[in-house]
Structure 1
Amino acid sequence: MANFPYSCVRNSLGALNVLYMIIGLVILGVAGYARGVAKFTSLAALGALVAVGVILLLIAIIGFVAAIKHHQILLFMYMIFMSLLFIIDFAISIAALALNQQQQKDLLSKAYDGLTPEDKTALHNRLKCCGFNNSTNIDCPSSCDNSCKTCYNVVKEPIALALKAGGGVGLFFSFTFFLAIYFARQFRNLKDPRSSDSFL
């Protein structure tokens, strides 16, 4: 019975980190899939997605090894990394949920204005839209007729929905990071019942 708190916290911390490893691999898989099949992708967004996947995977590996070995220094490093991830994820999630429609429109407009003419043409063809906010003096795709919508009108509802969903999921995962920090802190303070010196 004396081993129960130690094994329970260790197993919980290990299971959380296995979950983070799976999520990291899924993020990398999504980035690879998007790069391979998407006709129109932002290299900066894909790079950020790959970076998030790699960072989460590395931190999860550190946490898993620290949990298995009850390594004090790795547990401390893990707590610091998870604290940073918690703060960043929490802030980004709140920002995504707090963006109003005008702010979303401004961000999308800046992104659209930054596209090359070739990328704009690819976007118009893919979404069957013409121009960002108006279609005057724009070379519309042949698939568009006179009733073709502007690109903003096509994407505004899916983008708003994606921001809400992404913000909600991010907020949920930020609290799992907090839970991982709590388990790591508790685990650091527990003595390994199998060893006379667990601070290695």
Structure 2
Amino acid sequence: MCGGFSCSRNTLIGLNIFYIFVSLLLIGVATTAKTSNLLTNLPIVGGIVACGVFLLFIAIVGLYGAFKHNQVTLFVYMVVLFTIFVIQFSVACACLAANPEDEMSAAEQAFNGSASLAVDVEKLFNCCGFDSVPANFTTICSTIPCAQGEKPSCDPCKPSIEDKIDGAFNASGGLGLFFAFTEFVGICLAIRFRNLKDPRANPGDFL
């Protein structure tokens, strides 16, 4: 890790610019998915947008602290980033450690707890019901292609999504660990940069 003032400052600025791009990507993807009806579950869309906005805010705070070498701003940035790091690292480890039974249990709870999410899944995988097909599936899943036609026949959604759920958990855990690592780097950079003296400042100034 670079030890000079300019190097630490530029690295911290670059890291927060990266966070800004990621936050804008999150907001853009969620908005696009909603407007194109790829994702109709409002809590999920809202959660993704909220994460993007929060990350954007933290990145702006970090940029301001890096540009101004402001002690208070850098301290707030460090505390918030450390909190995010702990939460994200814990969630990422939980995702990677989850066994298939736990994953499917969580998926079933989400499926049964949100009608709009269930419809999204059924349309995407052309299935009806989670673990078993309801007896009146032609009525319940009337908008699903498999429940239409002269001889409607649907399969439950669980077999279709099992591998994808496992892959999603592993991908989420791996991605979470990656971002947790970048946050840890950001914390270390902020701590070091905060304790460095600006060479352009007056020798008598307290930093």
Calculate the TM-score normalised by the size of structure 2.
0.87
Q: Which residue of the partner structure matches residue 125 of structure 1?
A: 123
- Which secondary structure does the structure 2 equivalent of 1:55 belong to? helix
Q: Does 1:17 align with 2:16?
A: yes
Aligned runs of 1:68-87 on 2, under 5 Å? 68-87=67-86
Q: Which ranges in structure 1 are unaligned for 5 or more consecutive residues? A: none
- Tell me the CA shift for residue 90 of structure 1: 0.5
Q: Give the gaps of 5 or more residues in structure 2.
A: none
Q: Secondary structure at the match of 2:4?
A: helix
Quote how far apart the aligned CAs of 1:42 are. Answer: 1.9
Q: 1:138-153, aligned counterparts within 5 Å?
A: 138-140=136-138, 141=142, 143-144=145-146, 148-153=154-159
Amino acid at match of 2:185: L
Give the match for residue 194 of structure 1: 200
**Counterpart in the other structure of 1:35:** 34
Which residue type is aligned with residue 111 of structure 1?
A
Structural RMSD (CA)? 1.9
Aligned length: 195
Is the 1:70–1:198 contact (alpha carbons within 8 Å) kept by the matching residues of 2? no
1:126, distance to aligned residue in structure 2 (A): 3.3
Q: Is the 8 A contact 1:131 1:138 kept in 2?
A: no
- Greater RCO (CA < 8 Å, at least 6 residues apart): 1
- Superposed CA deviations along residues 10-57 of structure 1, whole A, max 9, x for unmatched, are 000000000001101101111101111135532111111111101110
Which deviates more from structure 2 when the two are superposed, residues 140-149 or residues 20-29? 140-149
**Paired position in structure 2 for 1:46:** 45
Tell me whether 1:157 sits opposite 2:163 in the alignment.
yes
Tell me which residue corresponds to 1:66. 65
- Amino acid across the alignment from 2:126: K
Q: What's the % identity of the aligned pairs?
A: 38
Alpha-carbon distance in 1 for matches of 2:56, 2:117? 32
Distance 1:123 1:74, change over 3 A: same
Q: 1:193 to 1:40 in 2, by over 3 A?
A: closer
TM-score by length of 1: 0.90
- 1:56 partner letter: L
Q: How much does 1:121 deviate?
A: 4.8
Q: Write out the 4+ residue segments of structure 1 that deviate beyond 6 Å after TM superposition.
A: none
